[in-house]
Amino acid sequence: MNLTDWLMGFAGASAIEWAGTIAGFVCVALYIQRSIWAWPVGLFQVILYVYIFGQAKLYSDMGLNIIYIFMQAYGWWAWSKHQDQQEEVVVEWGLSWQYALWALIALLGAFGMGWLLTHTDANLPYADSLVASTSLVAQWLLTQRKLFSWAFWIAVDVVAIWVYYQKGLAPTTVLYTCFLVMACIGQYTWWQRYQAQTKVEPQYA
């Protein structure tokens, strides 16, 4: 995929991809603000991306977004149980060994899914699977309000930018570039929120 072909992707992008792109941007902005409304917006986005990724033959991402439909519903419910008086979600630190375990699960999942997809007509099976498996981990950590869920999203976005560029999904590539910046902001914002909650030095595990 050269730059000219990629830029042409903007002209050829469907209304569905543009709608999903805008919804995704709004969703992550709401996550950063710890707003529970991120979940219904995200639900709309992932439904659209089931179709988008299916058309692009990115089957790991398509399957991921099907799972996301249920995770969005769960996250909506889970966050509603952990709001403060200002209706902002309370952030949790998490344990170091748990983050390491989730990272290992993401890598093993990527290898397993990638190997299976090499037997189909899937494009970029291992890279696509790495995006999918790490996204699942990141999303789960986000539903649990874990501080370093954003570090996993940063890793997801770096790989996803390359995958979607290669597939000519121009608006989606731009969206994930924005996601990368927003994930960095999210990590900083949630860190500030965690410090404001505790008013003490965090305990490292």
- 8/106 Cα distance (integer angstroms): 33
With respect to residue 123, please indicate whether it lies within any of the assigned structural domains: yes
- The per-residue pLDDT for range 60-86, each reduced to its tens digit, is 889 889 998 999 999 899 888 766 545
Asked if 58 and 172 touch (Cβ cutoff 8 Å), the reply is no
Low-confidence winner among 20-24, 66-70, 82-86, 147-151 (lowest mean pLDDT)? 82-86
DSSP-derived secondary structure letter, 123: S
Question: Left (φ > 0), alpha (ψ -120 to 50) or beta: where does 170 sit?
Answer: alpha
Q: What is the mean pLDDT of residues 172-186?
A: 92
Name the DSSP letter for residue 91: P
Q: Is residue 184 part of a domain?
A: yes
Residue 130 has pLDDT above 90, yes or no: yes
Asked if pLDDT for residue 55 goes beyond 80, the answer is: yes
Identify the weakest region by mean pLDDT among 53-57, 76-80, 85-89, 115-119.
85-89
Tokens, residue 31: 């996550």
- Cβ atoms of 34 and 91 within 8 Å: the answer is yes
Q: How many domains does the chain have?
A: 1
The answer as to whether 204 is a domain residue is no
For the chain, count helices (H), then strands (E): 8, 0
Enter the tokens of residue 128.
Answer: 């696509």
Per-position DSSP letters for 157-205, written without gaps between them: HHHHHHHHHHTT-HHHHHHHHHHHHHHHHHHHHHHHHHHHHH-SPPPP-
Could you tell me what percent of the chain has a pLDDT over 70? 89
Which tokens in the block code for residue 41?
Answer: 């917006």
Is residue 205, in this structure, part of any structural domain at all? Answer: no
Q: Which amino acid is at 37?
A: W
Mean pLDDT to the nearest integer, 122-130 = 91
DSSP state of 13: -
Asked if the structure places residue 73 within a domain, the reply is yes
Give the Å distances, CA to CA, from 172 to 53, 99, 166: 10, 28, 11
Residues 152-169: what's their mean pLDDT? 93
Quote the domain boundaries for residue 134.
3-84+91-198
**Is 115 domain-assigned?**
yes
Tell me what pLDDT residue 158 has.
97
What's this model's pTM, rounded to 2 decimal places? 0.78
Distances (CA, A) of 193 to 20, 32, 91, 109, 161: 29, 10, 7, 32, 28
Predicted pLDDT of residue 195: 86
E-state strands within 7-95: none
36 in any annotated domain: yes
Tell me whether residue 164 is in a domain: yes
